[in-house]
Copies of this chain bind each other. A is one copy, B any other.
Amino acid sequence: MNGQTLHLGIAGLGTVGAGVVRLLRENAQAITARAGRAIEVVAVSARDRTRDRGVDLEGLTWHDDPLALVSDPQVDVVLELIGGAEGTARGLVEAALKARKPVVTANKALLAIHGAELSAHARENATPLLFEASVAGGIPAIKLVREGLAADRLLKVGGILNGTCNYILTAMRESGRSFDAILNEAQALGYAEADPSTDVDGWDAAHKLAILAGLAFGQPVRFDSLHVEGIRNIAACDQAFAREMGYRIKLLGLARRTEEDGIEAWMRPCMIPHSAPIANVDGVFNAVSTEGSFSGPMLIEGRGAGAGPTASAVVADVIDLARGTTLPVWGMAPKAAISCAPRTALRGQYYLRLLVQDRPGVVADITAALRESGVSLRALSQHGAEPAASEDSTSPAQAASHSVVPLALVTHETSEAAMLSVLEALEPLESVMGAPLLMKIETV
């Protein structure tokens, strides 16, 4: 890192890698002024040498093996933009840290899953590892939590952390269409991957939440202890119930301190009152919320993905390096990762949606299951048939074979353990069709 110009080696030339090259050139003058020295890409590594990436790579050293960036003496800083928790990306980051070459990465899975270990490597080798781009793209969420709120005791951190899911849920709400129809459309528009599971099953967002939790509480969380649910089971009827009850459905992540000095952390679809600021973060936008005992509540929203915002975050990290700013990975000396509280320890209000046969006695069976688990009902709504008609078999719709209608109920505050025992009690009921959908209600 000596000398005037800071020389970068980039591994991975996808949209983000190409965006970094472009940003460094377009904003070169301002970046040099802010960093106090020039910053230049000198070497790259990517699989395909021939693909047109929209940026001129003339004059850059091309390494077929990303690890060659570590041993290339002209490279001061390695930018890992390959992705994935294992394999090449992990090997490259470890090798660079061991060679005392600073690393900037956008890799959320790597940090979420191997963050404890990597922070130990970074400390042992006194080498910075920066990852602003791994969470919420252009939103400087990591700097906000680790430095902006460094003085405060954070009680919780969370947010809407996957733009694909937020786009799908927003489009479902606005159009009344199904998850599958909107997903297909999002794939056609390039907002969703051909294999959408990382996004729609909640993993991508959960990785980001785990990183935010580690920064907020100064200690990595065990990723496998997070409760993670995706949005595949949200149906058009859930959006209709949400509207009727004054909620919006969001894939929400939250990590908060528990009374027992532990941490609760989960990523799951939630019902949020529509008047809450975070309920109005729509489309591909992301949002990060914090609450501190001194700073109070805070919410930041912006573009969570895309070449431009992500490149902006990567280069902000590089500028910090150029200025000589270095911090421990989790904002303080490394600690072992801690486990989150089990799902059964969660508490709150819940939304439970069932598909039920529209015939006499069904509501009585369901409310009996709630009573037996000690869950108190706050509201109940049934669509597709008049509620009054559901106990009355004279209507034409309820002839020989009973029609199936969605039924939603909202509980008073209870434990998630109690809700899971309600689900168990409903399981054998013949009048309950298919899998019930359980969502937490969160006021954030």
Name the B residues within 8 Å of A319 (CB-CB): 147, 150-151
Name the B residues within 8 Å of A149 (CB-CB): 140, 312, 316
Question: What's the number of copies of this chain in the assembled complex?
Answer: 2
A26 close to B153 (CB less than 8 A): yes
Name the B residues within 8 Å of A144 (CB-CB): 140, 143-144, 148, 300
- Name which of A30-38, A181-189, A206-214, A247-255 contacts chain B: A30-38
- Name which of A60-68, A290-298, A354-362, A379-387 contacts chain B: A290-298
| Cβ-defined partner of A309 (8 Å) among B281, B295, B299, B303 | B295
Name the B residues within 8 Å of A299 (CB-CB): 300-302
- A325 adjacent to chain B (CB < 8 Å): yes
A300 close to B300 (CB less than 8 A): yes
Chain A residues numbered 300-319 whose CB sits less than 8 Å from any CB in chain B: 300-303, 306, 308-309, 311-316, 318-319
A140 close to B147 (CB less than 8 A): yes
- A218 adjacent to chain B (CB < 8 Å): yes
- A333 adjacent to chain B (CB < 8 Å): yes
Chain A residues numbered 1-58 whose CB sits less than 8 Å from any CB in chain B: 19, 23, 26-27, 30-31, 33-36
B151 close to A27 (CB less than 8 A): yes
Name the B residues within 8 Å of A271 (CB-CB): none
- A327 adjacent to chain B (CB < 8 Å): yes
What's the Cα separation between A296 and B313 when bound, in Å? Answer: 12
Most buried by B among A151, A313, A325, A331: A151
What's the Cα separation between A143 and B139 when bound, in Å? Answer: 12
- A320 adjacent to chain B (CB < 8 Å): yes
- A84 adjacent to chain B (CB < 8 Å): no
Given known pairs A316-B149, A316-B151, A319-B150, the reply for A33 and B300 (CB within 8 Å) is no
- A412 adjacent to chain B (CB < 8 Å): no
What's the Cα separation between A143 and B141 when bound, in Å? Answer: 11
- A138 adjacent to chain B (CB < 8 Å): yes
A312 close to B295 (CB less than 8 A): yes
Name the B residues within 8 Å of A302 (CB-CB): 295-299
Question: How far apart are A143's CB and chain B's nearest CB, in angstroms?
Answer: 5
A151 close to B297 (CB less than 8 A): no
What's the Cα separation between A27 and B218 when bound, in Å? Answer: 13
- A348 adjacent to chain B (CB < 8 Å): no
- In the complex formed, the residue of B with least CB distance to A140 is B148
- In the complex formed, the residue of B with least CB distance to A308 is B294
B318 close to A151 (CB less than 8 A): yes
| Cβ-defined partner of A148 (8 Å) among B150, B280, B293, B316 | B316
- A332 adjacent to chain B (CB < 8 Å): yes
Which residues of A line the B interface, CB within 8 A? 19, 23, 26-27, 30-31, 33-36, 132, 138-140, 143-144, 147-153, 218, 277, 280-281, 292-303, 306, 308-309, 311-316, 318-320, 323, 325, 327, 331-333
A-B contacts besides A294-B311, A299-B302, 11 pairs, CB < 8 Å: A33-B218, A33-B333, A34-B332, A132-B148, A140-B148, A144-B148, A147-B147, A151-B314, A292-B312, A295-B303, A297-B302
The list of the 10 closest CB pairs from A to B, nearest first, reads A140-B148, A151-B315, A298-B302, A138-B295, A294-B308, A300-B300, A33-B332, A296-B303, A294-B312, A295-B312
What are 18 of the A-B contact pairs (CB < 8 Å)? A19-B294, A23-B151, A30-B218, A33-B218, A33-B333, A35-B150, A132-B148, A138-B295, A143-B147, A147-B316, A147-B320, A149-B312, A151-B312, A151-B314, A151-B316, A294-B308, A299-B300, A325-B325
